[in-house]
Amino acid sequence: MTFALALHIALAGMMLGLAAWTIAARETFAAVVGFVVYGLFLALVWVRLDAVDVALAEAAIGGGLNGVLLLGAAARLRATETPADAERPRAGLRLLAALLSATVAAALAAAVLQLPEPAPTLAPAAAANAAATGLANPVTNVLMGFRAMDTMLEKVVLLLAVVGVWSLAPDHFWGGRPGARHEADPQGTLAFLARVLTPFGIVVGIYLAWTGASHPGGAFQGATILAAMWLLIMMAGLADAPPTNARRLRLMLIAGPGVFLLVGLGGLAFGEAFLAYPAAYAKPLILAIEAAMVLTLAITLALLVAGPPERGAAP
Amino acid sequence: MSIASVFALCAAAAVGLGLYGLLVSPQPLRKILAFNLLGSGVFVLFGVVARRGAAAGFASDPVPQALVITGIVVAFSATALAVALLLRLFQASGSATLAAHSSARAGRDPTGT
Amino acid sequence: MQDPAPALEAVTAGAFLLVLAIVIPVAGALAAFAAGGRWVERIALTTLPLGLAIAGAIAIALWRAGAPIVYLLGAWAPPLGVALRADGLSALMMAITAVVICGVGVFACADFRIPAGATEARAPFAFWILLLAIWAALNMVFVAGDLFTLYVALELLTFAAVPLVSLDGRAETLQAALRYLIFALLGSAFYLVGSALLYGAYGTLDIVLLSHQLRAQPATLVAAALMTVGLLAKTALFPLHLWLPPAHAGAPAACSAVLSALVVKGSFFIVVRLWFDAMPGLPGSAAAQLLAALGAAAIVLGSIVALRQDRLKLLVAYSTLAQIGYLFLMFPLAFDPATARLAGGGALAGGLLQAISHATAKAAMFMSTGLIYAALGHDRISGLAGVARALPLSVLAFALGGVALIGLPASGAYLAKSLLLQAAGDSGQWWWAVVIQAGGMFTASYWLLVLVHALARGDASTALRARVSRLQEAAALALALCSLLLGLFPWDAYLAIPAGAASNPLTLEALSSVLWPIAGGAVLATLLGRSGLPPARVRVENFFVAVISSVRRGALVLSGTIERLDGALRQWPVAGISLLVIAILLGAAMQAAQSLD
């Protein structure tokens, strides 16, 4: 057993320990904290699996934004802990559930370990066709080129999630601002952090999105950082959440899928097929779509964390 | 045993733990947490598949990586919708549970558990 | 099937229509979102006829081409790219989706009005955008040729359907929506893990390519079992139905119509694609019998619990449960023992026809139920007396929808039933023929229960609380008539219907075939219905009354037990455990079928 392998086994063991803590912890808040740490370790796992784009996405979205969402919810739901505990299923059902889950996990492990060698892969095909989009990052090639339809549909899924979250608002607050008005001590740490960190965060976010064309990174990862910066500003009270009936906000929310759709239809009308890029303009078009996507994604992700409107639109 | 196999076993275990939590935890927020755990296990399985597919100068097959990034974003938006529903349910009924009897007030038919 | 990597030249002339079928609803949703206010409804209502026209154009193009339509997205061929494929099944499902959504759209105009003086309102804004998104998602499900694209489409469908459940903002519907969402997410996670295994084993997620390369390996078997169970959870097949009754009964009428008629058919369609197109040789006979056994249990349990309901909306929701069970009876009937594969033939046609007829009929039934609720202020079955005189069109829509489901000749369900019965007879599986006939009786039982109460003469207290819009009644009636006349459509252009199966539906023999289910249904309703049939005005001998009441007492105990069983099964831990048990059983059944070869 090499040192590297031992290290990986230790990493996997630590992760499983955290996963078990997430399930078994008595208090939900503690479980969520454990889950956030799990997410960060997961990003390390992705790096070891040589998937750096995914590691960035997992750290940003899976660990970061998800963590914020769940921590906020756990804090607000503290009062429901004890009544819910009374509903725990009987020990017999729990044992049965544990046995069955273990069986499924074992079947899954057996299936993965018995996958055929040599593994079938689309990497050669992806490499051979990389010239069509002119981008050097193969994952971005797949996201924006070969499987652009999935990415476009996923933008629509995000918009639908926003509509769904907004639909949960009480009728009289429709069109209002999400979340409570945050007031932080202007001389305090949170406001200081928001002021100092945000410019750096914006630069890093835009850089990550821009460099995704040729290095690990991309629109999702960069947009998440931008969303996080905006959330930080809102939480520190430096800016208020926008009213959800603002025309500009709504236009920016459809900019990403809208531009994607228009470029795709352009391909349908003038090019080879829907979502096909003409060889000469492939890179500029993709970058234009990505710019619109970053804008939309940043706002969408932040609004999803902010939640449904809880106050009126007036400031 | 290779690195990919270690993480494959880890992922399968994460799936099992997530399933158990999803089935057994009474609080909906714990169920959502367990779903995220389950999802992360599924994504790591994709990652193992990608790692095994290293070829043509790539250290990892890019197609499954793209699928995982899409999946992470979709899972996040699912969590956001679920949390929003849960918080609104808590606001509307004062309790956060999926069992019907606690939200059924007098005169309403029990519609589920 | 078709060639593995169809060249771009093989794309038929009308293939871009497949893209439009998805793009138009998406563009409508985006435009409506940005425009806001009263424009949301206008944009939605403009999109409806456009989408309907495209669905019709695809059906015509397919008929003219005679072969499946293929479109390569981005001009990338599978396995690297994603292809859209439309065959007869896709075209039919897209057409019926368009029809039902147009009907629901017309119906919903009156329910989702922006109050005067407000620029925008929550429920109308959310409803129209979610409706368009459901349409786009369903069209994607019907034509996508790649398993991961199907996953994204499924998620879009779920995200659009869940907020519809809680659209009225009450605590129970919020809870029902949350339960639906979490259970559906569990299903998608299973589906995704199966896709990961399939990619790991074959390096592609394209359905046609997979069908050529698929062999029985541990990875494939585990993937097939997990994906199927995940989709069953989203389709609410027994015993994974815990989320459906409260969700479909609690949603507003137009939303229930879309949820019951269309949304559950999406995941069902993917099961069909998986079993018939991607892996026809894999499941084997035992797994197919297991699916149909679950379906049979769904029919029995759903119908009996429906009979015990006091609220009309819950009765219709449990009826959906039973009808979903019907859809899965076709799997063992389509199994060809000679080749050990699932063959698309009469049984597949029957199952799809059943799905299509149920879509229109159930939409009509939920719409009429919504109208009755709005007019009376309640939907208690025992309080329905006199509503037939007050709302004749609504009750007629309910009646026609129900009788179309039972299988009146010239309805789609009649043709579906005869196809399934023929397949059962040909393959010697007489027990499924029994289940199919019993299913007809069960459907008739709760239909009769409602109708008898509705037709009873009411007293003066059946005053209508609100006037009902004629347009809404017309929409419900139109869909009901559609379901009644579906049998007359030229199905053999799209489905592989054996010659001679579509016999003349207007013969006396055919018409009398609907009498048996109704007679059986009357018996079942009398014995098992909690509300019971209203007392007959005929003097009957005391002896008969005593016999009937004692039998009824026993039957009520039985149905009460079944209702309690349903309650136990719909507890979350139990449902979750059933999910895993079914996954393991399916996997074992598939493994057994492979080792027998």
What residue spans define the domains of chain A? Answer: 1-78, 132-315
| Separation in Å, CA of B111 to nearest CA in chain C | 5
Whether B102 is covered by a domain: the verdict is no
Q: Of the spans A101-105, B106-110, C513-517, which averages the highest pLDDT?
A: A101-105
Structure-token match 């929550």, residue found: C122
Give the nearest chain A residue to C77 (CA atoms). A146
What's the mean pLDDT when you consider all of chain A?
Answer: 92
> What is the spatial distance between Cα C247 and Cα A265, in angstroms, rounded to a whole number?
37
- Tokens read off for A314: 């007036």
pLDDT of residue C533: 54
What's the mean pLDDT when you consider all of chain C?
Answer: 89
pLDDT band at C342 (very low <50, low <70, confident <90, very high): confident
pLDDT of residue C8: 41
Structure-token match 């390390």, residue found: A44
Question: What does chain B come to in residues?
Answer: 113
Strand C83-86 with C69-72, pairing: antiparallel
pLDDT of residue C7: 41
From its phi and psi, is residue C114 left (phi > 0), alpha (psi between -120 and 50) or beta?
A: beta
Give the nearest chain B residue to A137 (CA atoms). B62
A149 touches chain C (CB under 8 A): yes
By Cβ distance, the residue of B1, B9, B19 closest to A109 is B9
pLDDT band at C1 (very low <50, low <70, confident <90, very high): very low
pLDDT of residue C461: 59
Give the nearest chain A residue to C19 (CA atoms). A274
Best residue of B2, B5, B10, B93 to probe chain A, by most A CBs closer than 10 Å: B10
CB contact under 8 A, C193 and B15: yes
Residues within 8 A of C (CB atoms), B 64-93 only: 64, 67, 70-71, 74, 77-78, 81-82, 85-86, 88-89, 92-93
Residues within 8 A of B (CB atoms), C 119-148 only: 148
A181 touches chain C (CB under 8 A): no
Lowest mean pLDDT among A114-123, C21-30, C124-133, C185-194: A114-123
pLDDT of residue A296: 97
Residue A200 has pLDDT above 60, yes or no: yes
Which residues from C are below 8 Å from B111, CB to CB? Answer: 172, 176, 245-246, 249-250, 314
Residues within 8 A of C (CB atoms), A 17-76 only: none
Residue C505 has pLDDT above 70, yes or no: no
What CATH number did the domain enclosing B35 receive?
Answer: 1.10.287
For A43-68, what is the mean pLDDT? 94
> What is the spatial distance between Cα A96 and Cα A53, in angstroms, rounded to a whole number?
39
Residue pLDDT, tens place only, C152-185:
999 999 999 999 999 999 999 999 999 999 999 9
> What is the spatial distance between Cα C474 and Cα B79, in angstroms, rounded to a whole number?
40
CB contact under 8 A, B21 and A23: yes
Residues within 8 A of C (CB atoms), A 220-279 only: 245, 247, 250-251, 253-254, 257-258, 261, 264-265, 267-268, 271-277
Q: A80-85, long-range: CB within 8 Å, 24+ apart, which pairs?
A: A80/B27, A80/B90, A80/B95, A80/B96, A80/B97, A81/A27, A81/A28, A81/B27, A83/B95, A83/B97, A83/B102, A84/B26, A84/B27, A84/B96, A84/B97, A85/B26
Query: What is the distance, to the nearest Å, from the Cα of residue B80 to the centroid of all Cα atoms in its chain?
Result: 12
CA angle C105, C234, C147 (to 5 degrees): 95
Which residues from A are below 8 Å from C69, CB to CB? Answer: none
Best residue of C156, C165, C167, C192 to probe chain B, by most B CBs closer than 10 Å: C192
Higher pLDDT, C460 or A25: A25
Residues within 8 A of A (CB atoms), B 21-80 only: 21, 23-27, 29-30, 32-34, 36-37, 40, 43-45, 47-63, 65-70, 72-80
Indicate the DSSP class of residue C458: P
Residues within 8 A of B (CB atoms), C 552-591 only: 567, 570-573, 576-577, 580
CB contact under 8 A, A23 and B13: no
Which residues from B are below 8 Å from A42, CB to CB? Answer: 40, 44
Residue C488 has pLDDT above 90, yes or no: no
Residue pLDDT, tens place only, C132-143:
999 999 999 999
| Separation in Å, CA of B41 to nearest CA in chain C | 9
CB contact under 8 A, C186 and B35: yes
| Contact between residue C405 and residue C445 where contact means Cβ atoms under 8 Å apart | no
Residue pLDDT, tens place only, C64-89:
888 889 999 988 988 999 999 999 99
pLDDT band at C24 (very low <50, low <70, confident <90, very high): very high
pLDDT of residue B108: 39
| Separation in Å, CA of C109 to nearest CA in chain A | 18
Question: Which chains lie within 8 Å of chain A at 3 or more CB pairs, if any?
Answer: B, C
Whether B19 is covered by a domain: the verdict is yes
Question: Which chains lie within 8 Å of chain B at 3 or more CB pairs, if any?
Answer: A, C
Give the nearest chain A residue to B54 (CA atoms). A123
Residue pLDDT, tens place only, B63-72:
999 999 999 9
Task: Give the ipTM.
Answer: 0.96
pLDDT of residue A94: 93
CB contact under 8 A, C166 and B77: no
By Cβ distance, the residue of A62, A83, A123 closest to B40 is A62
Residue A55 has pLDDT above 90, yes or no: yes
Phi, then psi, of A234 in degrees rounded to 5: -65, -40
Best residue of B48, B61, B98, B102 to probe chain C, by most C CBs closer than 10 Å: B98
What's the mean pLDDT when you consider all of chain B?
Answer: 87
Residue A103 has pLDDT above 60, yes or no: yes
Higher pLDDT, C485 or B113: C485
For C223-235, what is the mean pLDDT? 97
Residue C367 has pLDDT above 90, yes or no: yes
Please state the domain count of chain B: 1
DSSP codes, chain A: --HHHHHHHHHHHHHHHHHHHHHH-SSHHHHHHHHHHHHHHHHHHHHHTT-HHHHHHIIIIIIIIHHHHHHHHHHHTGGGHHHHHTTPPPHHHHHHHHHHHHHHHHHHHHHHHT--SSPP-SHHHHHHTGGGTT-S-HHHHIIIIITHHHHHHHHHHHHHHHHHHHTTS-GGGTTSEESPPP---TTSHHHHHHHHHHHHHHHHHHHHHHHTTTSS--HHHHHHHHHHHHHHHHHTTSSPPPPTT-HHHHHHHHHHHHHHHHHHHHHHHHSSSTTPPPGGGHHHHHHHHHHHHHHHHHHHHHHHHH-SEEE-S--
Task: Quote the percentage of chain A above a pLDDT of 90.
Answer: 75
Task: Quote the percentage of chain C above a pLDDT of 90.
Answer: 64
Residue pLDDT, tens place only, C280-338:
988 989 999 999 999 999 999 999 999 989 999 999 999 999 999 999 999 999 998 88
Task: Quote the percentage of chain C above a pLDDT of 70.
Answer: 93
Closest CA to C383 of C473, C307, C467, C456: C456
Residue pLDDT, tens place only, A116-150:
988 899 999 999 988 888 889 999 999 999 999 99
> What is the spatial distance between Cα A215 and Cα A135, in angstroms, rounded to a whole number?
9
| Residue type (1 letter), A14 | M
Question: What does chain A come to in residues?
Answer: 315
pLDDT band at A185 (very low <50, low <70, confident <90, very high): confident
| Residue type (1 letter), C301 | L
Q: Which range marks the domain in which residue B63 is found?
A: 3-93
Which residues from C are below 8 Å from A101, CB to CB? Answer: 580
pLDDT of residue C145: 93
pLDDT band at A264 (very low <50, low <70, confident <90, very high): very high
Residue pLDDT, tens place only, C87-133:
999 999 999 999 999 999 999 999 998 888 888 999 999 999 999 99
pLDDT of residue C532: 54
pLDDT of residue B111: 40
Whether B85 is covered by a domain: the verdict is yes
Work out how many CB contacts closer than 8 A connect B with C.
125
For C40-44, what is the mean pLDDT? 95
CB contact under 8 A, C130 and A160: yes
CA angle C125, C129, C135 (to 5 degrees): 155
pLDDT of residue C248: 95
| Contact between residue A111 and residue C197 where contact means Cβ atoms under 8 Å apart | yes
Q: Which residues of C487-511 are buried (b: 16+ CB within 10 A; e: fewer)?
A: bebebeebbebeeebbeebeeeebe
pLDDT of residue C496: 77
CB contact under 8 A, A113 and B80: no
Residue pLDDT, tens place only, A9-36:
999 999 999 999 999 998 999 999 999 9
pLDDT of residue C502: 57
Give the nearest chain C residue to B73 (CA atoms). C152
For A231-253, what is the mean pLDDT? 93
- Mapped onto helix, strand or coil, the DSSP state of residue C83 is strand
Structure-token match 């035992």, residue found: C286
pLDDT of residue A143: 93
Residue A313 has pLDDT above 60, yes or no: yes
